[in-house]
Structure 1
């Protein structure tokens, strides 16, 4: 059992969307997952706690209270000589170079992240529930079949908007109006389109791509969003492989959706850090691509080398991995088991 202290005054209804994810079960959820209750417990005396958790996303806290107030509270907590867990919501993280502070975020560049930065998976709904289907395995075909549905475009205005957004975001950071890390220019939709086009031209693989000119095809109305969501997951379930490339924050929500569906992500590596690297052998669950230009050849080689039995087995393992390590509850339970001995 890990005992946790947090500032309960900030655990309000208004702050619920911005709360440290573990606190959903420990505070807001009236029927918390029994596994969470078995591994974690809130405590009021700070002296009895093993870990101190700042209750809401620190980028939210800076917006609400200012950076000075946040730093003052963290400095006060540090006097107790206990690990402090913080969380950054959204695409971009905030780097705090302090060995006592553990930073939880969804993405970032591995070479720039501190050793005590913990990458969380995107906590997503179960694709099987969304599609009202049970998990099923696909049989191995002669050629690898790879799918993708999403925003991908080499139009100049898409590239220009990405550039303008990057400059504007970094200007806000420079002026102290945005506390998140500075970002390099990466036109995600443009890069995706380049890779997808190359794959479509390859004779080594079969592709099933739906290119969108906008995020979610610009769907706003509920019926439209439901339709585009169904197309998205149908494509994942029908293809054993799905291309996964980074978005704005150097991580891919699609990556976790593919795993949850029991399919095989083809991940273009971009100095990414994945969750729980000490507990998960990621090479056993996906096809890692170092150079985008060689994606088709590397996927073909992977597909030819894997047996029919192992091809079905990796699908089942990926579904199980999501269930046992990558849901919100299972992620924090796995983290508990890894950290308990060191606290």
Structure 2
């Protein structure tokens, strides 16, 4: 499979809005392929780029649709998409950020996105993993997981922004309501969001789990995102605490944040742990190839009142070998499917 992308579209000042597959290949000339493999787990030998659009199997819009909207360059993006449509070339576009933006319907486009609501979007909107660095290598200089032995009472972990502050919840809901109103008044193209205070909801879910006698909880409640870190030292400390919390737990609670997706889901899998995934109509990646319910404790949003019992019964049904094997399978899933090469 060969890929083409319009290099003139690349904007280094908005590098975070680059289509993820392109980022490892839009580096300085002195950036070696060994460095690329170490940083992105992908090599120039894995991807074939061509310089002529007509010679490609897949065309990629270089920057995210969010970028073109923000910089008022939609016409530039649409010109490229219409050109690929005339040539009948499958075209990949990405939506990034916590909240989606309206995108026109093109029959030849696959729109990749991490956030959004599965029931509200067409099938050609495809789930995209959150691509992360390998936490085992970065945090622990290790290539294999820390295996956890089976115990009767499992340890459930969580470290993150979860607070019972009602005033903050009201402010959050009010802001979301205003943004939604702007959309309905056609003042904004940002997709409407569920009016909810994610940090408060997380807090209530964790408290429910603490009340279940069969679970050992390992929760670190943060009053602010990333513990309010202000500098590199503080960020390093909060990051180490975050991953140590995952390492020292059997299961990890993965609930949406500001956007309707969970980065923690991928961090948990990469660490070889079992996510307790609360589904809020999420758009998960590769659902045709991955049976997600074989890798996570699946909890629908309307089931959170019994989340403790669901986790406990799931754990009780596992044998000692099954428990360890699931840890290994989750790490393998992340390595083989949820890194950049999984797009190919």
Question: TM-score if structure 1 supplies the norm length?
Answer: 0.90
What is the match of residue 116 of structure 1?
A: 124
Q: Within 5 Å, which residues of 2 pair with 1:120-131?
A: 120-131=128-139
Residue 105 (structure 2) pairs with residue 106 (structure 1) = no
What is the match of residue 168 of structure 1?
A: 178
Between the aligned partners of 2:87 and 2:72, the Cα distance in structure 1 is 23
Q: CA deviation at 1:67?
A: 3.2
Q: Which region of structure 1 is more displaced relative to structure 2, 215-224 or 71-80?
A: 71-80
Q: CA deviation at 1:208?
A: 1.0
What is the match of residue 342 of structure 2?
A: 331
Q: Is the Cα–Cα contact under 8 Å of residues 95 and 113 in structure 1 kept in the other structure? A: no
Q: CA deviation at 1:16?
A: 2.8
Q: Is the Cα–Cα contact under 8 Å of residues 59 and 179 in structure 1 kept in the other structure? A: no
What is the match of residue 268 of structure 2?
A: 258
Between the aligned partners of 2:187 and 2:48, the Cα distance in structure 1 is 36
What is the match of residue 21 of structure 2?
A: 22
Between the aligned partners of 1:95 and 1:61, the Cα distance in structure 2 is 12
Q: Is the Cα–Cα contact under 8 Å of residues 94 and 113 in structure 2 kept in the other structure? A: yes
Residue 51 (structure 2) pairs with residue 44 (structure 1) = yes
Residue 343 (structure 2) pairs with residue 317 (structure 1) = no
Q: CA deviation at 1:129?
A: 2.4
Q: CA deviation at 1:15?
A: 4.0
What is the match of residue 147 of structure 1?
A: 157
Aligned length: 331
Q: Is the Cα–Cα contact under 8 Å of residues 102 and 189 in structure 2 kept in the other structure? A: no
Q: CA deviation at 1:131?
A: 2.4
What is the match of residue 339 of structure 1?
A: none
What is the match of residue 5 of structure 1?
A: 4
Q: Deviations over 1:67-115 (max 9, x none)?
A: 3443343223321111111111211223433321110111211112221
What is the match of residue 193 of structure 2?
A: 183
Q: CA deviation at 1:164?
A: 2.4
Between the aligned partners of 1:153 and 1:313, the Cα distance in structure 2 is 34
In structure 2, do the counterparts of structure 1 residues 176 and 77 end up closer, same or farther at CA, with 3 Å as the change threshold? Answer: farther
5+ long unaligned stretches in structure 1: 337-343
Residue 254 (structure 2) pairs with residue 244 (structure 1) = yes
Q: Deviations over 1:319-339 (max 9, x none)?
A: 1111111112x322xxx3xxx
Residue 75 (structure 2) pairs with residue 76 (structure 1) = no
In structure 2, do the counterparts of structure 1 residues 165 and 54 end up closer, same or farther at CA, with 3 Å as the change threshold? Answer: same
Give the CA RMSD over aligned residues.
Answer: 2.0
In structure 2, do the counterparts of structure 1 residues 175 and 60 end up closer, same or farther at CA, with 3 Å as the change threshold? Answer: farther
Q: CA deviation at 1:179?
A: 3.1
Q: Deviations over 1:191-232 (max 9, x none)?
A: 101111111111121111111111112121222221111111
Q: Is the Cα–Cα contact under 8 Å of residues 52 and 82 in structure 1 kept in the other structure? A: yes
Q: CA deviation at 1:247?
A: 1.4
Q: Is the Cα–Cα contact under 8 Å of residues 95 and 112 in structure 2 kept in the other structure? A: yes
Counterpart of 2:12 in 1: which secondary structure?
coil
